[in-house]
Every structure is written in structure tokens, then in C-alpha cells.
Chain A
Amino acid sequence: MDTHNYIIRQISIFSENRPGRLAAIAHALGEEKINILAFSIAEANGFGVVRALVDNPEKAHNKLQALGFNIAFTDVIAVKMKDQPGGLYEVAKILGDAGINIEYSYAYSGKDGAVLILRVDQVEDAIRKIRASGATLLERSVFH
């Protein structure tokens, strides 16, 4: 099984926790006609990391770096959920039973259903276990 197809490139951007930083990032991506498919902000003591799945991560990386942002790629995976009550439970149980440890996760609900995005420590191992459990992983081509 080629796990590679399921590894999605998230962009992670360091941001100080002050007004206008998110607007600056979003404006830059808009200018480059980069579409944001999923998005979250994690915040710590005075700073945060903006995480996004975009349709063109390379272009986003180059643009934001040129603007002086500190940006890195992070490998994540995306699990399809039923967009109905109990949908998250179903997926979370599969992950738990498979012994997959989640570093962080966020979700979105789009036209093709709901999706749970996961950052895990052993990504290839996780892909195999999730696939074996019968859950559906989205391929990277869905995003970019």
C-alpha cells in the first residue's frame, strides 16, 4: 500500500498573538488566489501557530516566506466522517481502538461531507491502521 498518497501537506505559520496577524496571512493567500480548505489556530502563551490546508501549499509557502512569515510544512492525514450525530465518535473510536495517538486535530464540514484532520506521530503506521480498520482516508489529490 502506498501510504504516500494519503499524506497531506499542511502549512504551519508562526504568529504573534496580536491584532491583524491573521488578516495579513489571509490577505496574502487571497492575493495569490490560494484557496483555504481547512484552517485552525493553536495558541500558547503570547503566540500561536496558524494551521491550514490550501490548494497550493508550495505557492502559499513561498508567498508567506517572502513576506517574512515563519512557515513550515507539516504532514497530516484526513479521515472522512459521517456528517451526522455520532460521526465523530465513530472515527474517534476507530483511532482509539487502533492505538493511534493524536497530537492535534481539527475538522471541517464541506460539500462532500465532514472531515477530521489529524496530526499523528507515526504517520505511515497510522495510515495503515486506519485503512485496515475500515475508515476512509482522503487522498492528497482531494486537497492539492
Chain B
Amino acid sequence: MYWDKKMETLKTADLKEIQLKRLKKTLKQVQNVGFYQKKLADAGINPSSIKTLDDITKIPFTKKQDLRDGYPFGFFAVPMKQIVRIHTTSGTTGKPTVVGYTRNDLDAWSDLIARNMTMVGITADDIFQNMVNYGMFTGGLGFHYGAEKIGMTVIPSATGNTKRQLEMMHDFGVTTIHCTPSYAMHLSEVAEENHVSLGSLKTGLFGAEPWSESTRKMLENRLGITAYDSYGLSELFGPGVAFECQERDGLHIWHDCYLVEIIDPQTGEHVADGEHGELVVTPLVKEAMPLLRYRTGDVTMLMEDGCLCRRGKKIARITGRSDDMLVIRGINVFPSQIEHVLLKIPEVGNQFMVYIDKINHLDEMTVEVEINREYFSGELADLANLQRKVVKELRDALELRTTVKLVEPGSLPRFEGKAKRVIDRREKE
């Protein structure tokens, strides 16, 4: 099934023509952004420099840090009057990255979600429970409007209260769910413990964090569903950038909307199809916040073989990151954010260690931090207050609950050269 058969199955020559036309339009659109005016002028590029798609390699990359430096609205290419929504995503320190949408952007985005859901066989007859954060995170509203566009019955249940979620799934005859794969695992366990039967369920859409084939098998068995991998990032609208079709062998990325390059993260050079590298995307239909050669940090490859469904070239499931970003319960965390928080609390030292574990299928982050010798009063209550303070400050900055361990001064490892402060003990399947 296709949502937009023409665009989803374009012949290569037609696709390239559309891509080039849209790339040129995007180059015009970025001229409204000070950062790009300067960047392109410095690189000696004007709109006429880009005559073919291959010319894109002349354009410098855009990095997440650039977006952060533009906080809050530095990358908006349209007047605020035309911005109809804002989402945010975690930045590397302190301030989040802000993304904005025009009405056309929201329409294009929900259209992509509709393509993805239709691709896996979901229709207006389906009842959809959307179990992700509905706030600043793009996953909630993104899927919500895409599903409504198809005409599904949407249950905006958001996160939390697993028993209530299961009750709704059962009582409302839910056929399709969207959540993080780790939450789905948790859900399946609570369902088993409470003997909740989920006979109506057919399809699970899982994204926002990497998950393995063995997790897929387990989820499918336990929930009685077919599970599909969903990929996206806020800078490229949100979820919906790429999605598995019913073959479930790689993700179709929407080439008419996203110009894809895979590079060697060290050299910035293109790698061949079938070789892993960092995904670099130039969105082709974004109005409010056009980007050029955006480095996603995600490691994947372009797959060589075509697909039975006749849609375009697929990317492999994301295998990791080319930077130090962590994904904890679907939330992006940079170690530098943790450092930033600790620097603001004089009662603790600046050394820290982060441990990530999977406990009952959910990511748990533990931060060890040294207490500052000068602030030790000898009172247990003061230490307990300090511990609570660090937990709260981390929660405010990361939007994530962490466990904080206070340790003795001087007890954490000191690093010469590149610090290895993060120990990820989650099982690599």
C-alpha cells in the first residue's frame, strides 16, 4: 500500500530532477539565515555554483553545535509570524536546540508519517495508541498528526501509568502502538504479570533509540505484533525520516524530501554504498528551518540492493553514533551536559563517571560524583540534601531521572588525554 505512490516509487532520473530542483530552492531559502549567508560566502558558493547534485560536496557541513550556537531562533528562515510550532531537542550543553515549523512544514511532516504508516499496512480502520512524550519531544505530536491524517482512531495516551496504558489497549481494541522499544518490553512484562490479553494488537512502531533483531523477536512474540523500526530526528522534522517497509530489511528514507550522503566521519569524504559511515542529510522541503548537509551523527550505510516494494534506496538500521551522544530511554544525552550541570554545583567536584545499565528493559543512568572536601559539614542530612540537589539539577537539564552516587574526594579516575567517563553496560545484542 502506498500513501503517495508517485513520489514513493519515482524512477531514478525523475527523482534526481526533483532533488536538484528542491536543492536549488533550499539554497535560496537558506539565504534568509545569517549563519548560511556567511558560511556560503566564506566557501565562495552562490546559488549558481550548484548545477548538479554532485556539486553538493562543495557546501560545508552543518553540525549540531552550529544549531546550538544559533539558540534560540538563529536558524529560522521565515518571520516568526509564519512559524506555527516549536519543538526542542537536547543540545550538547545547557541550552536545547530549537526547531521550528511553518504550516507547510507540519503538512509535509505529517504526510511523511502517513507514508510510513501506510507502507506497513496501517489504515483508517486501525486504532492507534501513541505512547510517547507529547511535549517538546517530536515523537508525540509528529505521529499524532500523521495518524490523524490517515484517519486512524488516535489515542494520545502519552507516557506513564503502564497499567492504565494496558487497560486502554485492551478495552479500546487497540491495533497499533508507537513507543520506544524499551518501553514496549516493559509493557509486555507488565501485561504478562497482570494477565492482560492484547488480542487486538497487530502492529508496533518503535523508534527514538537503537534496538536489536533479538529485541524485535522478543517483542513480536510477547505482544503478538509485527514490529517496525522508525527513524528520525527533530532537526529533520522529527520521526518519519526513514521507516521499515513490510520486508523489514533496512529503512526507506524519503529521497524526494531528504538528500542522503554517507561520509567517513573523520575525512568527510563519501563512502561507497554498502559501507558504513555517518548519515548526512540535506532536507529538501523544509521552509522554517532549512539545513545544508546536516551531520546526524548516526552511523548507517546505503544498501546496495533494491527492495521488493519498489520504493527507493534503503539505509541500514542505525548501528551507533559517530560522536559521544548517548540515548537514554529515547532521550539524547551528551556527557558534556552532565559536566555543565556539575560545574554549577560547588558542593561537588568536577570529576564524574556515568554508568548506563538496562534494568527490567529500561535504561538507567547512574552518575558518580565526588563531594567537595570544603563543603563537608559532617552531617548526613546535608549530604542527603546535596544528593537530592544533584538529582534535581540533572533532571532539569536532561529531562531524565538519574541515580546520583556521592563518592569520596579523589576516588574517581583522572584522565590524561581523552576522558572515558561513560561506561555503557547495556548488553550489546
Contact = CB atoms under 8 A, between A and B. Distances in A.
Interface of A: 10, 12, 14-16, 42-49, 68-74, 103-104
14 contacts: A14-B383, A14-B406, A16-B405, A16-B407, A16-B411, A44-B380, A47-B405, A68-B408, A68-B409, A70-B408, A71-B376, A71-B378, A72-B377, A74-B378
B118 interface: no
A49 B378 contact: yes
B302 to A, nearest CB: 47
Contacts of B384: 44-45
B411 A74 contact: no
Contacts, number: 54
Contact of A68 (B378, B379, B410): B410
Contacts of A43: 380
B127 to A, nearest CB: 43
Nearest to A14: B376
B58 interface: no
Given A14-B371, A73-B378, A74-B378, A45 B387 contact: yes
B408 A48 contact: no
Nearest to A41: B380
Contacts of B411: 16
B176 to A, nearest CB: 41
Nearest to A70: B376
Interface of B: 371, 373, 376-381, 383-384, 387, 405-411
A15 B378 contact: no
Nearest to A43: B380
A52 to B, nearest CB: 11
Contact of B405 (A46, A68, A71, A72): A46
Given A14-B371, A44-B387, A70-B373, A49 B380 contact: yes
Contact of B409 (A44, A70, A73): A70
Contacts of B408: 14-16, 68-70
B378 A72 contact: yes
A49 B383 contact: yes
B378 A12 contact: yes
Instruction: Kindly list the 10 A-B residue pairs having the minimum CB-CB distance in the complex, ordered from nearest.
Output: A12-B378, A72-B378, A74-B378, A70-B376, A42-B380, A49-B380, A44-B384, A46-B405, A47-B406, A68-B410
Nearest to B391: A45
Contacts of A12: 378-379
Given A16-B408, A70-B373, 9 more contacts: A10-B378, A16-B405, A42-B380, A43-B380, A47-B383, A47-B407, A68-B408, A70-B376, A73-B378
Contact of B383 (A10, A44, A71, A103): A44
B379 A74 contact: yes
A69 B378 CA distance: 12
A78 B381 CA distance: 21
A44 B380 CA distance: 7
A104 B381 CA distance: 10
A49 B406 CA distance: 12
Contacts of B405: 16, 46-47
Contact of B371 (A10, A48, A70): A70
A14 B378 CA distance: 7
A4 B130 CA distance: 67
A43 to B, nearest CB: 8
Nearest to A47: B406
B375 to A, nearest CB: 9
User: Which of A43, A49, A73, A104 is packed against the most chain B CB atoms within 10 Å?
Assistant: A49
Contacts of A10: 378
A16 B405 CA distance: 9
A142 B371 CA distance: 33
A12 B380 CA distance: 9
B148 to A, nearest CB: 45
B353 to A, nearest CB: 13
Contacts of A47: 383, 387, 405-407
B403 to A, nearest CB: 8
B413 to A, nearest CB: 15
A54 B298 CA distance: 59
B392 to A, nearest CB: 14
